A and B are shown apart, each in its own frame.
Chain A
Amino acid sequence: MTSAALNANPAPAILPGSGGLRGALSDLFWRKPKVLLLLMLLPPVLWLGIVYIGSLFALLAQSFFSIDEFSGLINREFTLKTYGDLLQAANLDIILRTVTMAALVTLASAVIAFPIAYYAARYARGRWKALFYLGIMLPLWSSYLVKIYAWKLILAKEGILTWLLAKLHLLWMLDAWLSLPIVGGNSLSVSFTGTFIVFVYVWLPFMILPVQAALERVPGNLVEASSDLGASPGQTFRNVLFPLALPGIVAGSIFTFSLTLGDYIIPQIIGTSRLFIGQAVYSQQGTAGNIPLAAAFTVVPIVIMGFYLWGAKRMGAFDAL
Chain B
Amino acid sequence: MRSDGSQSAPLGLKIAAACGLLFLHLPILLIFVYAFTTEEKSFVWPPPGLTTQWFAVTWNRPDVWQALSLSVRVAAISTAIALVLGTLCSAAVSRTRFFGRETISLLVILPIALPGIITGIALRSAFSLADIPFSFWTIVLGHATFCVVVVYNNAVARFRRTSGSMIEASMDLGADGFQTFRHVVLPNIATALLAGGMLAFALSFDEVIVTTFTAGQQQTLPIWMLEELIRPRQRPVTNVVAMVVMLVTLLPILAAYYLTRDGDQIAGSGK
Q: Are B177 and A29 neighbours in the complex by a CB distance under 8 Å?
A: yes
Q: Are A138 and B250 neighbours in the complex by a CB distance under 8 Å?
A: yes
Q: Chain B interface: which of A43-51, A87-95, A168-176, A177-185?
A: A43-51
Residues from 117 to 161 in B contacting A, C-beta threshold 8 Å? 117-119, 121-126, 128-130, 141, 144-145, 148
Cα–Cα distance between A193 and B104 once the two chains are bound (Å): 40
Q: Does A307 contact B (CB under 8 A)?
A: no
Q: Are A145 and B229 neighbours in the complex by a CB distance under 8 Å?
A: yes
Q: A163-B46, A295-B125 are in contact. Are A205 and B230 (CB under 8 A)?
A: no
How many residues belonging to B are interface residues under a CB distance threshold of 8 Å?
Answer: 94
Q: Are A48 and B111 neighbours in the complex by a CB distance under 8 Å?
A: yes
A residues near B43, Cβ cutoff 8 Å: 152-153, 156, 158-159
Question: In whole Å, how far is B97's beta carbon from the nearest beta carbon of chain A?
Answer: 10
B residues near A116, Cβ cutoff 8 Å: 16-17, 20-21
Interface string of A129-171 (1 = CB under 8 A from B): 1101111111101111111111111101011100100000000
Question: In whole Å, how far is A67's beta carbon from the nearest beta carbon of chain B?
Answer: 13
Q: Chain B interface: which of A4-12, A55-63, A77-85, A242-250?
A: A55-63
A residues near B57, Cβ cutoff 8 Å: none
Q: Does A302 contact B (CB under 8 A)?
A: yes
Question: In whole Å, how far is A224's beta carbon from the nearest beta carbon of chain B?
Answer: 7
Q: Does A261 contact B (CB under 8 A)?
A: yes
Q: Are B85 and A59 neighbours in the complex by a CB distance under 8 Å?
A: no
The contact of A144 among B23, B113, B130, B206, by CB within 8 Å, is B206
Question: Looking at chain A's contact residues, is the secondary structure mostly helix, strand, loop, or mixed?
Answer: helix
Q: Are B25 and A146 neighbours in the complex by a CB distance under 8 Å?
A: no
Q: Are A224 and B3 neighbours in the complex by a CB distance under 8 Å?
A: yes
A residues near B208, Cβ cutoff 8 Å: 144-145, 265
Interface string of A208-239 (1 = CB under 8 A from B): 00000000110111001000000001000000
Q: Does B49 contact A (CB under 8 A)?
A: no
Q: Are A154 and B30 neighbours in the complex by a CB distance under 8 Å?
A: yes
A residues near B30, Cβ cutoff 8 Å: 150, 153-154, 160
Q: Are B145 and A221 neighbours in the complex by a CB distance under 8 Å?
A: no
Question: In whole Å, how far is B118's beta carbon from the nearest beta carbon of chain A?
Answer: 5
Residues from 10 to 38 in B contacting A, C-beta threshold 8 Å? 10, 13-14, 16-17, 20-21, 23-25, 27-28, 30-31, 34
Give the interface size class of chain A.
Answer: 35 or more
Question: In whole Å, how far is A289's beta carbon from the nearest beta carbon of chain B?
Answer: 10
Question: In whole Å, how far is A264's beta carbon from the nearest beta carbon of chain B?
Answer: 6
B residues near A145, Cβ cutoff 8 Å: 206, 208, 222, 225-226, 229, 242, 245
Cα–Cα distance between A101 and B28 once the two chains are bound (Å): 24
A residues near B44, Cβ cutoff 8 Å: 158-159
B residues near A61, Cβ cutoff 8 Å: 125, 129
Q: Does B185 contact A (CB under 8 A)?
A: no
Q: Are B98 and A147 neighbours in the complex by a CB distance under 8 Å?
A: no
Q: Are A119 and B92 neighbours in the complex by a CB distance under 8 Å?
A: no
Cα–Cα distance between A29 and B179 once the two chains are bound (Å): 13
Closest A residue to B85 by beta carbon equals A44
Cα–Cα distance between A74 and B267 once the two chains are bound (Å): 53
Residues from 12 to 26 in A contacting B, C-beta threshold 8 Å? 15, 17-18, 22-23, 25-26
Q: Does A118 contact B (CB under 8 A)?
A: yes
Interface string of B194-237 (1 = CB under 8 A from A): 00000100100010110011000000001001100110000000
B residues near A136, Cβ cutoff 8 Å: 24
Q: Which of A146, A147, A158, A301 gathers the greatest number of chain B CB atoms within 10 Å?
A: A146
- The number of inter-chain residue pairs (CB within 8 angstroms) is 277
Q: A37-B98, A143-B245 are in contact. Are A150 and B27 (CB under 8 A)?
A: yes
Q: Does A315 contact B (CB under 8 A)?
A: no
Q: Are B129 and A205 neighbours in the complex by a CB distance under 8 Å?
A: no
Q: Does A41 contact B (CB under 8 A)?
A: yes
Q: Does A275 contact B (CB under 8 A)?
A: no
A residues near B148, Cβ cutoff 8 Å: 44, 47-48
B residues near A252, Cβ cutoff 8 Å: none
A residues near B14, Cβ cutoff 8 Å: 119
B residues near A217, Cβ cutoff 8 Å: 271
Q: Are A30 and B171 neighbours in the complex by a CB distance under 8 Å?
A: yes
Q: A30-B177, A150-B31, A220-B4 are in contact. Are A54 and B126 (CB under 8 A)?
A: yes
Q: Does A115 contact B (CB under 8 A)?
A: yes
Q: Are B98 and A59 neighbours in the complex by a CB distance under 8 Å?
A: no
Q: Are B118 and A302 neighbours in the complex by a CB distance under 8 Å?
A: yes
Question: In whole Å, how far is B137's beta carbon from the nearest beta carbon of chain A?
Answer: 11
Q: Are B176 and A22 neighbours in the complex by a CB distance under 8 Å?
A: yes
Q: Are A26 and B177 neighbours in the complex by a CB distance under 8 Å?
A: yes
Q: Are A204 and B24 neighbours in the complex by a CB distance under 8 Å?
A: yes
Q: Are B89 and A41 neighbours in the complex by a CB distance under 8 Å?
A: yes
Would you give 25 A-B contacts (Cβ < 8 Å), ordered by A? A15-B174, A25-B177, A26-B176, A44-B88, A45-B89, A48-B145, A56-B122, A122-B9, A135-B25, A138-B28, A138-B254, A142-B28, A143-B222, A143-B249, A145-B225, A147-B27, A147-B28, A150-B242, A152-B43, A153-B43, A156-B42, A201-B24, A224-B4, A282-B117, A302-B118
Further contacts, 18 of them, CB under 8 A, given A141-B249, A158-B44: A22-B178, A29-B177, A52-B111, A52-B145, A59-B118, A115-B20, A120-B17, A139-B25, A141-B250, A143-B206, A151-B27, A154-B30, A158-B42, A201-B24, A219-B2, A265-B209, A291-B124, A298-B121
